[in-house]
Amino acid sequence: MHLCEVVRTRPVTPMVQRVTLGGCGLAGFPAVGADAFAYLLLPPAGRSELTIGLDFDWAHVRSMAKDERPRGAYYSVRHHRPEELEIDLDVVVHDDGIAAGWAAAAAPGDKAALWGPRVLFRPPADAAWTLLVADNTAVPAMLSILDHRPVDHRVVAVAEVADDAEVRDVRPGPCVDLRWARRDRGERAADVVRALRLPPGPGYAWGGGEHAWVQELDALVADVHGIDAERRSLTSYWRRNQPTGLR
Ligand SMILES: Cc1cc2nc3c(=O)[nH]c(=O)nc-3n(C[C@H](O)[C@H](O)[C@H](O)COP(=O)(O)OP(=O)(O)OC[C@H]3O[C@@H](n4cnc5c(N)ncnc54)[C@H](O)[C@@H]3O)c2cc1C
């Protein structure tokens, strides 16, 4: 558990707000891997101070009175600068989101905490290439995976976003085939993935996004490209019309 506070914020795209967290509590935040994610814990509604401390545990949270309970959600570590004790989270701002609403209004000095980190990106040692699929919520993790990859490792990355304004200005480097599907043009990640010719040899598929979207892509990766379960890690990041964050 790492207590921290907002250092600064800035928009990355019209839908994505970068929140930079910092402070002494981030000393010792471990570098666990490419798609590191942590639970962002926030003060209860209408409060500015956290109601949890370094002894935080989930069983205790469940027994807390509702107006004392922290709020929050999982977020990926887009950048970790251990020498500055800073972490960037890229938060998709959407309607009715507690964590998203907090990020949209966050100001320097606002209190927060990070529980974690953990990883889901665990390619087998013999993976000759990697397929990445992401909706806007998993683009931060996808770009972090690209930042961490060996320069000669082949990657096919497919991101589905709302429109041109959500496409990130990144230069992924050699050996990476990065494709953006823009929904306002009728483009879908599923169609791109279905039509892919993947490199030869054993691979690994990673992905994140909305629950039903991820399920469709997981089935495609398995059925069309024949990637076995132990070589796939596609995770539901959120569910349409269903809160998953602590509220
Ligand atoms: C491993 C992991 C890593 C993640 N990394 C990131 C990340 O880096 N950036 C990021 O933005 N999200 C990320 N997420 C997703 C994020 O945790 C969820 O979107 C979460 O629901 C946001 O919490 P909230 O309090 O804003 O909304 P909630 O209270 O959970 O939901 C409120 C309502 O908003 C809807 N909703 C939730 N998320 C979205 C969305 N993105 N777009 C539209 N409607 C939505 C829900 O269906 C619900 O109806 C990650 C999730 C996981 C599991």
Name every protein residue with a CB atom under 6 angstroms from any ligand 1 atom: 37, 73-76, 90-92, 94, 96-100, 137, 140, 237-245, 247
199 CA distance to ligand 1 middle (Å): 32
Nearest CA to ligand 1 atom 44: 94
Rounded Cα–Cα distance for residues 54 and 68 (Å): 16
Predicted confidence at residue 246, as pLDDT, reads 82
Does 85 score more than 90 pLDDT?
yes
Of 159, 166, 201, the C-alpha closest to 180 is: 159
Ligand 1 atom index nearest CA of 120: 1
Q: Identify whether 7 is part of a domain.
A: yes
* Residues in contact with 240: Cβ distance below 8 Å, sequence separation at least 6, in sequence order: 210, 211, 212
What's the pLDDT band for 211 if we cut at 50, 70, 90?
very high
In a domain, 243, yes or no: no
Q: What is the pLDDT of residue 7?
A: 98
Neighbours of 242 (CB within 10 A): 7
Kindly state whether residue 186 falls inside one of the protein's structural domains.
yes
CB atoms within 10 A of CB 172: 16
**Atom 34 of ligand 1 has which residue's CA nearest to it?**
97
Are 208 and 150 members of one domain?
A: yes
**Whether residues 153 and 92 fall in one domain:** no
Give the span between the Cα atoms of 64 and 47, in whole angstroms: 15
Q: Are 131 and 204 in contact (CB under 8 A)?
A: yes
Q: Mean pLDDT, to the nearest integer, of 29-47?
A: 96
Give the span between the Cα atoms of 159 and 198, in whole angstroms: 16
Q: Residue of the nearest CA to atom 27 in ligand 1?
A: 97
Tell the residue nearest (CA) to atom 43 of ligand 1: 94
Enclosing domain of residue 7: 2-118
pLDDT number for residue 35: 96
Task: Report the pLDDT value the prediction gives residue 223, as an integer from 0 to 100.
Answer: 97
What average pLDDT score do residues 98-125 get? 97
Which of 1-5, 52-56, 202-206 has the weakest average pLDDT?
A: 52-56
Position 100 scores a pLDDT of: 97
Average the pLDDT over 204-228 and give the result. 98
Round the CA-based radius of gyration of the chain to a whole number and report it: 18
Domain stops at, among 88, 118, 148 = 118
From atom 18 of ligand 1, which residue's Cα is the shortest distance away? 238
Query: In this predicted structure, what is the pLDDT of residue 115?
Result: 97
Strand order in the sheet with 129-134: 176-182, 154-161, 129-134, 203-210, 232-238
Is residue 183 assigned to a domain?
yes
Instruction: Provide the domain count of the chain.
Output: 2
DSSP letters of 98-149?
A: HHHHHHHH--TT-EEEEEEEE------TT--EEEEEE-TTTHHHHHHHHHHS
